[in-house]
Amino acid sequence: MLKKALSLELLRALVTVDEAVTYEGFCTQLRRLDDRLTKLKSIQAGSGRRFTPATNAPPPQKDPDTMEWVSSNATRPSFRVPGISYEDAADRRQRGVCINCDRPGHIAAHCRSDFVPARKKIRANYITVEGGGGKEESGRPRRSSEAGKRLAPAKIRRQELEEVGRQRFEEKMKMNAILVPTTINNMYNMKAMVDSGLCHYSMIRSSVVRRLNLQRTPLPSPRPLTGFDGPRDARTHYMVKLDIDVGGQALKMTKLFKPVSFL
């Protein structure tokens, strides 16, 4: 039972000595071993690294599979100043001055000079040329930079773009119609055509009005029908009101129609 209460260090020390026969002798032997272990710890703590085992790392061996580094010709791009040629920049670097303002004491990246490099000329929207022709009074032809070039005003160019956009829109309008399942007055099922060319009002065929026996309402004055694929001078005198259900969404709509169907 006493050995179970001992520390691991004392159990290791008991292996190397002969244990006492009597209980009192065994306790005395344990005290002596404990004193010796305490002295040994104090000597090791005060002597530094003398008692620590020295482990020398093995020398590195060359790995034949490792690729050797090969230097390339890649160089870091130098700082570039707009408006200065490479020859002038190289000359200023060799003299140890700023390549921007040609002064010593700093580099171009930290230069605070108000130097503004020359920029390319931007062509204006509309340029007028004064004078009668492209020649001077002496008869010598003008240079291209002095003569200039006549351009169309921006307003005319915008009109050309609008005409091109209208042609593309008309091409899309000539595509096949989109038909949507529709319920009218919760009784009649048919298909309605989705048309984005109408303005403010929608149209319905007169044949559908007669077949469904919809109630007609005369208009106070004839209304021109514009914005759809039909005659430009077409007018209508009647309208109908009905409940329409498109895709599960109920709507109350007013539709225009003409006795002679042209849709």
pLDDT at 131: 47
Residue 246 neighbours by CB under 8 Å, 6+ apart = 180, 181, 182, 192
Q: What is the DSSP code string of 225-238?
A: --SSSS-TT-EEEE
Q: What is the pLDDT of residues 81-127, one digit of tens each?
A: 777 788 888 888 888 888 888 888 887 778 877 655 555 566 555 44
More confident call, 23 vs 193: 23
Domains contained in the chain, number:
2
Q: What is the mean pLDDT of residues 4-21?
A: 76
CATH number for the domain that contains residue 204: 2.40.70
Rounded to whole angstroms, how far apart are CA atoms 209 and 214? 5
pLDDT at 136: 47
Rounded to whole angstroms, how far apart are CA atoms 83 and 2? 94
Residue 17, domain member (yes or no): yes
Q: Find the domain containing 25 and state its range.
A: 3-44
Residue 16, domain member (yes or no): yes
Phi, psi for 257 (deg, rounded to 5): -150, 160
pLDDT at 183: 74
Residue 91, domain member (yes or no): no
Cα Rg of the chain, angstroms: 51
Residue 101, domain member (yes or no): no
Residue 253, domain member (yes or no): yes
Domain-terminating residue out of 12, 28, 44:
44
Residue 237's pLDDT band, with cuts at 50, 70 and 90, is: confident
Residue 213, domain member (yes or no): yes
Note the pTM of the prediction, 2 decimals.
Answer: 0.26
> How many residues belong to the chain?
263
